[in-house]
Structures are given as structure tokens and as C-alpha cells.
Amino acid sequence: MTTPAVVAGQTNKAGLTKNDYRGLPSTLCQGCGHNSIASQIIAACYELDVIPEEVVKFSGIGCSSKSPTYFLNRSFGFNGLHGRMSNLATGAIFADTSVHAIGISGDGDTASIGMGGFKHMVRRNAPIVYIVENNGVYGLTKGQFSATAEVGLNLKHQGTNQYMPVDICMEALAANATFVARSFAGDAKQVKELIKAAFSHHGIAVLDIISPCVTFNNQENAFHSYTWGKDHEAPLHEIMYTPKLAEIILDGEFPEGAVREVTMHDGSTVVLKKLEKDYDPTSRAKAFQMIEEAQKNNWMVTGLIYIDTEKPALTDVYNLVDKPLNRLEQADLRPAPETIKKINSLMF
Amino acid sequence: MSSKKIINDFSITIATVNGSGSQTANVTLLRALFKMGIPISGKNLFPSNIQGLPTWYTIRLSKDGFLARRDEQEVVVAINPSSFARDLAAVSSGGVFFYADDIKLPIDRKDISVYPMPIKALAKAANVSPALRDYIANMVYVGVLAQMLGIDPEAIKSALDFHFKGKAQAVDSNFSTIQAGFDWAAQNLVKKDPYWIKQMDGTSGYIMTDGNTAAALGAIYGGVQFAAWYPITPASSLAESLNVYLPQLRKTSEGKQTYAVLQAEDEIAAIGMAVGAGWSGLRAMTSTSGPGISLMTEYAGLAYQAEIPVVVWDVQRIGPSTGLPTRTAQGDLTEVYFLGHGDTQNVILLPGSVQECFEFGWKAFDLAERLQAPVFVLSDLDLGMNQWMTKPFEYPDAPMDRGKILWEADLEKLNNGWSRYKDVDGDGIPYRTVTGNRHPAAAYFTRGTGHDENARYTEDAKPWEANMARLKKKYDTARTLVPKPVISQAKGATIGIIAFGSTEAAVKEAQALLAQEKGPKSDFMRLRALPCTREAQDFIKKHDRLYIVEANRDGQLRQILSAVLPDHANKFRSVAHTDGMPLTAKWVKETILAQENK
């Protein structure tokens, strides 16, 4: 399904123009995959009619972690510590659960220094869109191997990588993620649709987006390069996100039997159009199997790999008051004076 | 042996096996003595072990109210064969030795009174399941001590009642074993020693609890909204106390929570979550000990640099490294003062009593939000985990201070114009907004990297230096806001003593001992915070000779004060020592005297 092209000055249902979703000019390299992801975040938020003040952005340290400044200038953002986006965001999302969280991390940030935190955030099902801009290399420190680099990759000053790569989707699945997807920065449409679906997911939505580094890791035969990605991308489905407002009629657009709908927490749907494989993204076992098979065959499988819309999100577990915690006042937070006597009496 | 009775003025040490359930018996004894009106302190000297290693519990009774630990042990109860010889050797001359009669080891002391106790036999006779027999065995010595020293059985009963939360069956089965020990001693032992316990009126107006419980309760009255933690001795019980009392005190009538407590995957995550929560406008805290503080360093620097309120409790244990995980110290002062790489200076609160743990529990949030900075509270194992008699908790005497925070209506009034890191009021403290603020001008981008007044990224030299200068100015503002020291002056004082935290009891007693021995008279300042307030600086300036008492090797407070007031550094004399045990008054007195006499 295509969204009509945005006309300059045109507004969405939130009454905002696409410019209201932009950020500062990128300081990343020209042609960096991260820039096109930032563009798709802008487009997705515009199309979702998101109010920028109701989004909060997080990142760690690295090239990817710089990118939250390149979109949603009217949203709060926090560029924290290397590998620690997970815990920073986990604490912050308790303040106002009506605010959507989006985190941008990299393969070094998530799969090396931040692996522990990442997996714990996933297992807690913290409500956040967690994007890994995965290029297999440390860009900001000028071209060292990351933990997602494939065996045998040659880098100018590093030699040949000898170690097995971390598969972020596999790690997310193993940690019981409730939304796991992979995409390729060069596939703008799929990136956008997956981001839209991720925004509607209530829980952790892990998006591993292969995002080529044009400066340090873009050899034609490298896994995280444009050429390789274009040649090896095998989409699981054609994916389309439908907002809960039913202005898009699905019936008749896809032939019966080739379409699978997933209803999201907020009532919106993700529609998956089958390609050549009969793939069920609600089966964790099949997701593992599919990734395993893809690894063996040297495929870069993209699309929605796994989704579970039933598990409660981290903040649901706490039975919090309806009012945002950060708007509570002394009367809500300090026990009444008469309680102190009782507390003293509880001591010996 | 002396026939003169010694009443309510001696120490009892109980030597048992870790994990054998003796803690219940020991705390029951302590509480019974407190109930009898006798000023007491109890210290659990335990190993880093679940079960099997020797452990000691020492109770000091002091009719005069001196509650520091003493090295002298007049009454020793030996239940543990593996520490039997050293326990026997530890009894003060003229003292008393109670021992489990199944331990067949030689007793070669003629200068003490020795009493056997049929612990195993009486436990076997108790009407409890075999699984509970080992635990209840400890109650035998409670009964024997009660009979031989004069502890009121009713006081013991109310202690048991408290411990078992009124569960009659548990109270009764334990008490019947105590009664058996009591009766056996009455029939079989003849009192030869001079030590007696008598009812007095020294504890009315006091409660008894530990510093970690107090800290958690203080935080709750301070409106804590988010706490993340990772288990570590001796801090775990602080967070666990939050989990005990928050549901009682901070749920709405519909049962909804105004708080969240989360056990993190490690200490980095714990402070990270707290920093995230503090950044987004929650009263956020974490609690840990030295090794956790080391892990939290990078985040502490971020909170300092990006100006994020967060409260960090450090219940200190002895280091470096894993150190002695179950032993106390005041060794993290220097680390925490400078925690973070680059130029950092941190605000530290130094509670000196259980009651003050409560007070600083809520005050720390006011300071953190007012200053938009991490505030560290340094307690220690002795204060945090041991039972202390203390003045009751006092309801906060000031409204919550949420600091300079701008919501939608404030931004409207400002006509959208505000700068995150601008010193508008001349106190170095800027204004902030938090997530969820829907005003289009509210959002800003937070970073640990260089930023200008409008929170924009910059690597330019001038904004960097200006920002760091403002942070220093803010630290000077903190100097005026942190708790002032507690100062007591003596007529004709020739020296000053400075201490902080849990050593107060030892210092006060040392002052009395110095007076008794016609040593120098002293003024005493208990420092309650860093940065050093004007009052603390004045105290230092007024004295020619100052002894700084602290439980660490290097005299860390002396080092810090020497840097704060370099012109006065030559007045400082270090009374610093650390071996994992709380300082004794005798050691403090002797160390001061030795330097005075030099």
C-alpha cells in the first residue's frame, strides 16, 4: 500500500507538516544508511500522526547514537552512555507512560558493550521501539570490527575477523522479545512500514536494520554493504501497516490466503503479504528456524520475524496510577503526617 | 573474685555458627534488654558466608549510654567448637564464660566464672520438629543468660512477640525452650560472677531499628518514585525495605502504585535506570556499596555533567576490591567525592545515626532536585545493618522542594523563551523541563558531550569552560544548602575533634574518657555533608589542633579538608584506622593521647 506523496505544507491528522518531524542536519557521512533510517522515522511519524511532544528519543554512543538529533526536533532526547541506552530508557519510560519511546543504537552499542543491558531490556518487555543501525563496524572510532561483523571480513587496519558474528534478531528472540524485525536501510519502504508497526507495538520492538557504512565497511562482498544487501535481501513478506482508523479497506486488495493480518495492541494492524515462503511470525520456534536457515544459506531475510501482542509491557506490570508519575505532587507522594506514628510503632 | 556487683555496664559476646539461626536469639536478647530500659547496642560480626563459618554477636549494655563497640568482652557465650579456644581467650579477666556442654575442649582459665549449658539435651527435649531443633537450640542460651544475669522473662516474651509478629505458636515454642534453659540454670548453676542486669529507665522515647530500614522509610516520606538496585551486602536490605513499606504507605485507595522498584541486572543498569527516571522528572534513587559505586562511576559523571537529579545510597563496606564484604568501613569518601572522570565534585550527605538515615532519606531528594545533580548518601554496614536505639523518626519539617522545573503553564508565561543550561538566577542552577511536557518549546536534547546554554552540541572552547565554571558555582550553592555540621563545645577546650557517620558514639565516649584521665578537653564537630559548609570551615579556622577521626586507612576526610582549606591543613591530625570493625572509644582516646603527648 502506498501513501500519497507529501505535498509541501500539507498537514497530517495531528495538524503538523512533515517539517515538524525533522531534526537538525545530519553530520554523518553522505550516503550513510543511518540517514535514510532517520528519514523513514520522520516519514513514519508523520504518517502515524504522532505528536512529537509525545515521543522521547534515546541513544547510546556511536554514529548511530548521534542520529536522534536528525529527526523529531520537538521531542525530548537523551544521548547517554556507550552501551547503556537500555537502562537509561528503562528508567525514563516510567515517568509518563503515554509518551512513546524510540531508541537508536548501533551494533557496537547493542551487541558488544551493551549486550547485557539490551537482553535484559528485551526480557522485561520495556515499551520502546529499539532500532539497531547495524553496519558491522565501529565508525566513530574509524573502522574497527564490531560483534556483528561476519567471519572473514577484511578491514583496512584490522585484518581479518576471526570470530562468529552476533545475530541481533536471534539474541532478541532468545531473550523473549515480543517484536523482532530485520530490514535493510536501502529498502526505504519496508523500513518505514516496520517502524510504523513497531510504534504500534506495546512492548519491546527490536528492529535490526542493516545500515551500510559507506566509509569503513562497504566492500561489495561484505554483509553490511549496499551491494550485498541489495543482492541478498530476501523479504519474508511485503509488509504494510494499517492504522486503527479503518480508512484503508483491506478486503480485495490482497488475494485471500496470501495475506496475514496481525492486530496490534492499539487496534491497528500489520498486514503481511506472503512472498514465496509460508512464514508464521507468531511462532517463536519457526522464527529461530528461519534465522538459522537464513544464516546457513547466506540470505539476509528481512521483514517481521516474530510478534507476540499478548505479553504485558514492563510498565503494565506495576499497576501505576493513571496520572503520569512525573506529574504527581507532594499530596500524592508524601504519606500523611499521622502515618509517622504508626511507622514508629512498627519499630521495636 | 570481686563480690561487688557490676550492673548494666558490660559487654556480652555470643559466638555461634553462621546460618544456625542464632540471629533470632541474639536480637531477642538485645530487644529484651532494650525493653528493660537499658541503653544497649548490638553488632553482628558476621562472615561472608551462608552457613558454617564462625559469627559473633556483641551486645554492649551501658547505663551511661555509651554505645560504641568495645574490645573487652566480660560475658562470652561459646556455642561454636571451631572458635571455642579464641572465644575462651577473649573473656576479660574476672569475666564469665557460658559454653555448650557438648563441646569437649579444655577450659584452662582460673580467672573467670565458667558455666556449662546443656544446649543439645534441652533442644532435644523441646516439642518441635527435628528440622527446627537446631534453630530452637539457640533459645537455650537465652534462657540460661536470663536466669544467670537477671533478664526479665516478660521482656523476652515481648521481644519474641515482635520478632514473630505475634504468631502465638512460634512465640510459645521458642519461649518454652527459653524457659527450659532458665529453669535448668536455676536448678543447676550457682552464680559466682558479679555481672547483673537490672531494669532501668534509659530507653524511653527511643525506638530500635537499623539504618537501612530508616533510609528506605525516609526515601518513602521523601516521595521516592523510582528505585533501581542490584543485590549487594550491606545495602540490599535498604531496597528490600522499600519493597516492604512502599505498598503500605504509597498505594492509592484503589491500590495503584505511585512508585516503581526494579531489581536491575547490575549496578550500571541500576544507576542508569535511576538517572533516566531522574531526568524525566521522577524522584529516583539507587542503593549499593563500594563495588557498585565503582561500577556506577561513568553514570555519576553523566549525571553531574548533564545535571540530572538522582540519589545514590552507598552503604559502605571495607575495600578495596571485594574486600571484606560483611565488615564496615568509611573508605569510600574520597572516591565518591570525586566520582566521575574529568573535573567532578559531588554532594555527599553523611548520616550519623539511624534517625538521620531517615532524615537524609527524604532530604536527599530535595537537594538532588534543587541542585539537578547526583546526591550521594554515605552510610555504612554498622549503621545500615545493625540494630540501634534511636530517637523516633520525625515527619519532614519542610515541604518537598521539586527544584527549578518548568511545566506547560510556566513556559507559556516565559513566552516560550528558556535555555536549559543558562544561569538565570545567579546560583549556577539552570531550569529544566521533563518528558511528557506537551509545550512545543519544552523539549531539549540531553547529552554528556559539550553543550551550550541551549543544550546544543558544541565543541567550542568558550561554552565548555563557561559551563564548567557554572557547575563549580552550583557546587558553591550546594555549600549553602546541605545539612550543617553538629557542633558541641566544651568549656576550656584545647583541641577540636572532627568525625562523620557512625563513629559518633566512639568519639563522644572518647571525649568522656579523655576528661576522666585529665586529658585535653575537646570541641566536637560531626560533619554531615560535603561540600564543606561555612559553619564547618569556621570550626576548623577557630581551632589550633584538630583530630579527624575516621574508619579508613588514609584519613580521607583529612585529605579532603586539607584540599578545601590548605592554609589550615597543618592543624589536622589523623585518627584513622580500619580493620572491618566499628571503632572503639578506647582506641580513639589512646590515639589522640599518643599524638598529644608527642
Lowest mean pLDDT among A41-55, A58-72, A262-276, B49-63: A262-276
Q: How many whole angstroms from its chain centre is CA A187?
A: 15
Let me know: does A209 contact A132? Beta carbons within 8 Å.
yes
Contacts of B207 (CB under 8 A, 6+ apart): A344, A347, A348, B389, B390, B391, B392, B393
Beta carbons within 10 angstroms of residue B171's beta carbon: 19
The last residue of a domain, from among B433, B456, B481: B481
pLDDT, chain B, mean: 96
User: Residues B450, B495: one domain?
Assistant: no
Average pLDDT over residues A33-51: 95
Distance from CA of A293 to the nearest CA of B (A): 32
Helix (H) or strand (E) holding B548: strand B546-550
pLDDT at A1 over 80: no
In a domain, B26, yes or no: yes
Q: How much is the ipTM here?
A: 0.95
Determine what percent of chain B is predicted with pLDDT higher than 90.
94
Chain A contacts in chain B segment 414-443 (CB below 8 A): 433-440, 442-443
Domain range enclosing A57: 18-318
In a domain, A76, yes or no: yes
Average pLDDT over residues B302-322: 98
pLDDT at A257 over 70: no
User: Residues B16, B164: one domain?
Assistant: yes
Distance from CA of A195 to the nearest CA of B (A): 21
In a domain, B204, yes or no: no
* Pairs across A and B, CB distance < 8 A: 207
Q: What is the pLDDT of residue A266?
A: 75
Domain range enclosing B426: 408-481
pLDDT, chain A, mean: 88
Query: Helices A115-123 and A85-92: crossing angle, nearest 10°?
Result: 30
Task: State how far the Cα of B567 lies from the Cα of B435, in Å rounded to an integer.
Answer: 47
User: Residues B283, B332: one domain?
Assistant: yes
In a domain, B403, yes or no: no
User: Residues B435, B520: one domain?
Assistant: no
Q: What is the pLDDT of residue A253?
A: 42
Q: Name which residue leads in pLDDT, A280 or A265.
A: A280
Q: Name which residue leads in pLDDT, B51 or B578.
A: B578
pLDDT band at A308 (very low <50, low <70, confident <90, very high): very high
Q: What is the pLDDT of residue A273?
A: 64
Distance from CA of A95 to the nearest CA of B (A): 6
In a domain, A170, yes or no: yes
Q: What is the pLDDT of residue A7?
A: 67
**Count of structural domains, chain B:** 4
pLDDT band at A228 (very low <50, low <70, confident <90, very high): confident
Which residues in chain A touch residue B225, judged by CB atoms under 8 angstroms apart? 94, 325-326, 328, 333
In a domain, B145, yes or no: yes
Q: Which of A285, A276, A155 is nearest to A224 (CA)?
A: A155
Contact: B276, A87; criterion CB under 8 Å: yes
Q: What is the CATH number of the domain that holds B269?
A: 3.40.50.970
Query: What does the pLDDT look like over B205-230, one tens digit per residue?
Result: 999 999 999 999 999 999 999 999 99
Q: What is the DSSP letter of A249?
A: -
In a domain, B400, yes or no: no
Which of A52, A92, A325 is nearest residue B225 as measured by Cβ atoms?
Answer: A325
Q: What is the pLDDT of residue A246?
A: 41
**Count of structural domains, chain A:** 1
Q: What is the pLDDT of residue A8?
A: 67
pLDDT at A2 over 70: no
pLDDT at B572 over 90: yes
Task: State how far the Cα of B582 lies from the Cα of B587, in Å rounded to an integer.
Answer: 11
Task: State how far the Cα of A245 lies from the Cα of B401, in Å rounded to an integer.
Answer: 44
Q: What is the pLDDT of residue A259?
A: 57
Contact: A325, B260; criterion CB under 8 Å: yes
Query: What does the pLDDT look like over A69-83, one tens digit per residue?
Result: 999 999 999 999 999
In a domain, B397, yes or no: no
User: Residues B171, B285: one domain?
Assistant: no
Q: What is the CATH number of the domain that holds A34?
A: 3.40.50.970
Query: What does the pLDDT look like over B487-507, one tens digit per residue?
Result: 999 999 999 999 999 999 999
pLDDT band at A275 (very low <50, low <70, confident <90, very high): low
Q: What is the pLDDT of residue A254?
A: 39
Average pLDDT over residues A279-306: 89
User: Residues B14, B161: one domain?
Assistant: yes
CA-nearest residue to B209 within chain A is A347
Rounded to 5 degrees, φ, ψ at B386 are -85, 155
| Region at B424 (left for phi over 0; alpha for psi -120 to 50; beta for the rest) | alpha
Which residues in chain B touch residue A81, judged by CB atoms under 8 angstroms apart? 272, 298-299, 302, 448
pLDDT at A248 over 50: no
Q: What is the pLDDT of residue A252?
A: 38
Contacts of B141 (CB under 8 A, 6+ apart): B14, B25, B77, B79, B98, B100, B117, B119, B181
Let me know: does B541 contact B568? Beta carbons within 8 Å.
yes
User: Residues B189, B215: one domain?
Assistant: no
pLDDT at B349 over 90: yes
User: Residues B155, B85: one domain?
Assistant: yes
pLDDT band at A9 (very low <50, low <70, confident <90, very high): confident
Q: What is the pLDDT of residue B21?
A: 84
Q: What is the CATH number of the domain that holds B563?
A: 3.40.50.920
CA-nearest residue to B399 within chain A is A330
In a domain, A3, yes or no: no
